Amino acid sequence: MNSKKIFLILSVLAALALIIFCSSYLYNVVLSSIGYLGDYLKENKFFGGILFIGISAFSVLLSPFSSVPLVPSAVLAWGNFLTFLLLFTGWIIGGIVAYLVGSYSREKLIERFVSFEKIEYYKERISPRSQFWLVFFFRLAVPSEVASYTLGIIRYDFEKYLLATILAELPFAIFVIYSSYILISESIFLFAGVLLLGTAGSYFLYRAFQKKIKSQK
């Protein structure tokens, strides 16, 4: 995942959490939906696990798509640790695929998944010789599909890219799992608070990177 994408998702979830909090009926509907999907995943562990990994991987390739709404049901079905492993694995696979697509595909194909203007913007500021800490910051703060395609296109060292991706996805995966656990535990106040903190943190992280990257030309 990434800070900007997480920020957008958390903003929507925070708004929904406020609405749901004001309506016990809506909150019960959400919990019922989570429970229904959770039961399905629990009864179909193998197929559900493969599907969950696939959706998680695909969410890295396509900007509007996200696997985060499925996580509460997965936590309910498989527990925190297994869900974390599946989610993290899916995100890493998606990051690898996006890098390879960027490395070996034409621009017209990539434009079907993401705005190429953003990639052009970052290509002027990130190079194959960029320091690892800057690439890690880039991977952490910028939408994952944009960062992965960009680093693939410029042919940034794959091993360093993979390490940066692992380090960048780790805190987001932990945060998503923790937030989902709180939601299904029916701690709505804590859930809303965690979402607000996550939203604020993601926003400031993204803004800090944009400020830093403007000096990289």
**Residue 151: φ, ψ to 5°:** -65, -30
Q: What pLDDT sits at residue 7? A: 54
More confident residue, 126 or 11: 126
Residue range 18-47: mean pLDDT, rounded: 68
Handedness of CA 39, 92, 94, 2 (dihedral sign): positive
More confident residue, 85 or 120: 85
Confidence of residue 23 (pLDDT cuts 50, 70, 90): low
3-class DSSP assignment, residue 129? coil
State the Cα–Cα distance between residues 169 and 174, nearest whole angstrom.
Answer: 9
pLDDT in tens, 148-170: 999 999 999 999 999 999 999 99
State the Cα–Cα distance between residues 183 and 199, nearest whole angstrom.
Answer: 16
CB 204 within 8 A of CB 19: no
Q: What pLDDT sits at residue 214? A: 75
Handedness of CA 127, 216, 169, 5 (dihedral sign): negative
Q: What pLDDT sits at residue 50? A: 92
Q: Kindly report the pTM of this predicted structure.
A: 0.81
Supply the Cα-derived Rg of the chain in whole angstroms: 18
